[in-house]
Amino acid sequence: MVEQEHTKSGRFMGWYFGSNLLMRILVGLSLGALVGLFLAFNPGAAAPYVAYTKFFGDVFIRLLRMIVVPVIFFSLITGASSVTPHQLGRVGLKTMGYYLATTAIAVFIALILAGIFSPGSGLGMAGDAAVQGKSAAQTPLAKVLLNIIPMNPMESLAKGDVLPIIFFALVFGIALAVLRDSDNADVAKHADSLFHICSTIAGAMYKVVGGIMQYAPVGVFVLISVVFAQQGAKVIGPLVFVTLLCYIGFAAHVLLVYGGILRIFGFSFIKFIRGAHEASITAFVTRSSSATLPISLRVSEENLGVSRSISSFALPIGATVNMDGTAIYLAVCATFIANAVGAPLNFEQQSTLVVVATLASIGTAGVPGAGAIMMLMVLEAVGLPVTTGSPVAAAYAMILGIDALLDMGRTCLNVTGDIAGVTVVGKSEQQVDLSKWA
């Protein structure tokens, strides 16, 4: 969307804003890698280069950090208050149960894969004593859970403590949903206005994200070139590896989890994929669950026979909150970053990761690149904050450089999961036209 608008108004620096953002980021990534490699073999030039260009990379990291708290806060309030308590009846509970359970399983699959293959280890981007200290001094699990409840939500917002912010936003959103449904017309009207204000603020925040992403090619170029200048060619392998690992996670989740659940409900997996593939492919190329929603609605009804009453309720919620692919990406890549900086996640951090990645995926908007913003808060929550100039920021930049590739796969899984969800929930409510499956 942002790209198109820039194309339309592409007079100022039209050559830049008028061209495809994805292409620009990939160009930034490749050029950054080339320049960095060149510098790696000319150590004399590397140090002054890093000193002079660091600023431009730091600008990018700071812009991203600036947006995290407002994005999570307002998109979660909007998400939670868009489901009316009335809708949250039996079908709602089943749908939410399916969404939550599959997302938590997704994180487990990711952690198992990451545990077996240790992506990023051996990269040796450490050198930050503060990072090591932080992970060693992790709080026990019970305390982590207790800390999710903020004692002062305003303080959490000001300090950027993500888990308490998520908790408060969800509670607030649910309360707002109850007010919107109030019998008192006045109360309902005002609550509705507040809902629309929050949703507009969330929309504005995503516009800001879109604007920041226009700077991404420059930011990625600088950050990647610095990483390559300091680490040399040895970083290419781990990046290819982490991409592969994410895709193995995506494939395992589709086959084992969706395949298994569909089987239990008596559906053929092959027929499901055949029916849903148009939406899955659209998700892959658009990298947006929201943009794919019209297609998801159509294939669920026309190809899979799910009644409109179920799909028109559950799919929009799914496109907003059910992000299994994003959850896998968050868990695999957070592990990659932790290993890359020489601070592998311990058991407590992994437990925190399960909770945080599940919640963060719920808070991720269905737009391109949203998961990468959520990664910042996941890292913060596991004690690896992305601060300017830190090894964590460098490792994060590497992941950001390949985000488009990862986003395609995770969005495809996100949407496929939504459609599998409505199919099984529909079946449990006898709301699937089984003649479509014959």
Q: How many CB atoms lie within 10 A of CB 126?
A: 13
User: Which among 27-35, 90-98, 405-413, 426-434 is the span making contact with ligand ASP, rule CB under 6 A?
Assistant: 405-413
Nearer to ligand ASP by Cβ, of 305 and 417: the residue is: 417
Task: Show the tokens assigned to 403.
Answer: 């985000």
Report how far residue 255's alpha carbon sits from residue 247's, in angstroms, rounded to the nearest whole number: 12
User: Which among 127-135, 183-191, 226-234, 283-291 is the span making contact with ligand ASP, rule CB under 6 A?
Assistant: 283-291
User: Which among 123-131, 340-348, 360-368, 389-397 is the span making contact with ligand ASP, rule CB under 6 A?
Assistant: 360-368
Crossing angle of helices 324-340 and 370-381, in 10° steps, is: 50
177-190 as b/e, with b when 16 or more CB fall inside 10 Å? bebbbeeeeeeeee
Residue nearest to ligand ASP (CB): 371
User: Which among 112-120, 139-147, 168-176, 284-292 is the span making contact with ligand ASP, rule CB under 6 A?
Assistant: 284-292
Report how far residue 72's alpha carbon sits from residue 360's, in angstroms, rounded to the nearest whole number: 8
3 state SS of 19: coil
Residue 411 binds to ligand ASP (criterion: CB under 6 A): yes
Residue 91 binds to ligand ASP (criterion: CB under 6 A): no
Choosing from 79, 92, 363, 368, the residue that interacts with ligand ASP (CB under 6 A) is 368
User: Which among 214-222, 233-241, 281-289, 392-400 is the span making contact with ligand ASP, rule CB under 6 A?
Assistant: 281-289
Choosing from 363, 371, 383, 391, the residue that interacts with ligand ASP (CB under 6 A) is 371
Beta bridge partners of residue 43, listed in sequence order: none
Task: Show the tokens assigned to 313.
Answer: 């309720």
Report how far residue 167's alpha carbon sits from residue 173's, in angstroms, rounded to the nearest whole number: 10
| C-alpha pair distances (Å), 107 with each of 14, 344, 351, 398, 419 | 41, 17, 10, 21, 19
Closest CB 209 distance from ligand ASP, rounded Å: 10
Q: What residues numbered 31-60 form the site for ligand ASP, per CB under 6 A?
A: none
The amino acid at residue 327 is: A
Nearer to ligand ASP by Cβ, of 367 and 382: the residue is: 367
Closest CB 332 distance from ligand ASP, rounded Å: 13
Nearer to ligand ASP by Cβ, of 360 and 424: the residue is: 360
Nearer to ligand ASP by Cβ, of 168 and 329: the residue is: 329
**Per-residue binding letters, 234-273, with ligand ASP (x by CB under 6 A):** ----------------------------------------
Cα angle for residues 280, 283, 288 (degrees, 5° grid): 150
Cα angle for residues 370, 173, 63 (degrees, 5° grid): 30
Residue 364 binds to ligand ASP (criterion: CB under 6 A): yes
Q: What residues numbered 288-327 form the site for ligand ASP, per CB under 6 A?
A: 288-289, 323, 326
Percentages (nearest 5) of helix, strand, coil residues in the chain: 80, 0, 20
- For ligand ASP, the binding residues (CB under 6 A) are 287-289, 323, 326, 364, 366-371, 407, 410-411, 414
